[in-house]
Amino acid sequence: MRVKICGIIQPQQSLAIAALGATALGFICVPTSPRYVTIEQIQAAIAPLSDKIDKIGVFANSDITEISHIVTTSGLTAIQLHGDESPEFCTQLRQALPQVEIIKALRVRSLEHLQTTNNYIDVVDTLLLDAYHPQQLGGTGKTLDWQMLQEFKPRLPWFLAGGLTPDNIIDALSKLHPNGIDLSSGVENSPGDKNLDKVALLFQRLNTF
């Protein structure tokens, strides 16, 4: 299972988190986010990482030119779209960056809203389900309705996000079977400052599951 720790800011933490077992690190490329990082910060954070670690840039309603510039300049290997990007936009992005994994995040409000994932099945590589918040795009600490997701079996791999912590991860995974999990605020001291003890505890729990 893929394990993504998102909202990395400090370069020294990126290597430590990868060493603890993360398979993917997420970097927030949304200027309004408290976890926002520049191209230079991303470069510094991913420089010491193994090629086996996925380096995912998180964007929200950015244009394709901007995304392409940040991805190619910084060395990111995947794009997570966390805004209102349409399937048509995803298709255009795929044409611009054919070698880069595209992850579409959806902040799920209801069972009906969950059905919109079907619109993206043929145009992205991976889905990510996050909790809905009217003001914030992610890192809110709010959990999804796991009960609602029990019948969710898309044709694409998917990440579970939204309020996951070392304390609730086993409960979540006993109910659901995602291909990956995504944690941010659940392993932090403050936005962007990851608590390495919590990250270590997460992997201890996962290893016993």
- CA torsion through residues 22, 109, 64, 94, sign: positive
Note the pTM of the prediction, 2 decimals.
Answer: 0.94
Overall number of domains in the chain: 1
In which domain, by residue range, is 41 found? 2-208
Nearest to 128 by CA among 147, 103, 155, 153: 103
Q: Percentage of the chain with pLDDT > 90? A: 84
What Å distances lie between residue 168 and 49, 126, 143, 194, 209, CA to CA?
28, 23, 10, 18, 12
Q: What is the pLDDT of residues 145-154, one digit of tens each?
A: 888 898 888 9
Q: What is the CATH number of the domain that holds 191?
A: 3.20.20.70
CA distance 139 to 186: 8
**Structure confidence at residue 133 (pLDDT):** 52
Cβ atoms of 20 and 43 within 8 Å: the answer is no
CA distance 125 to 185: 25
Cβ atoms of 25 and 14 within 8 Å: the answer is yes
Q: What is the pLDDT of residues 44-89, one digit of tens each?
A: 999 999 999 999 999 999 999 999 999 999 999 999 999 999 999 9
Written as tens digits, the pLDDT of the chain (209 aa) is 999 999 999 999 999 999 999 999 999 999 999 999 999 999 999 999 999 999 999 999 999 999 999 999 999 999 999 999 999 999 999 999 999 999 999 988 778 789 899 999 999 999 999 986 545 455 556 688 888 898 888 999 999 999 999 999 999 999 999 999 999 999 999 999 999 999 999 999 999 98
**Structure confidence at residue 148 (pLDDT):** 86
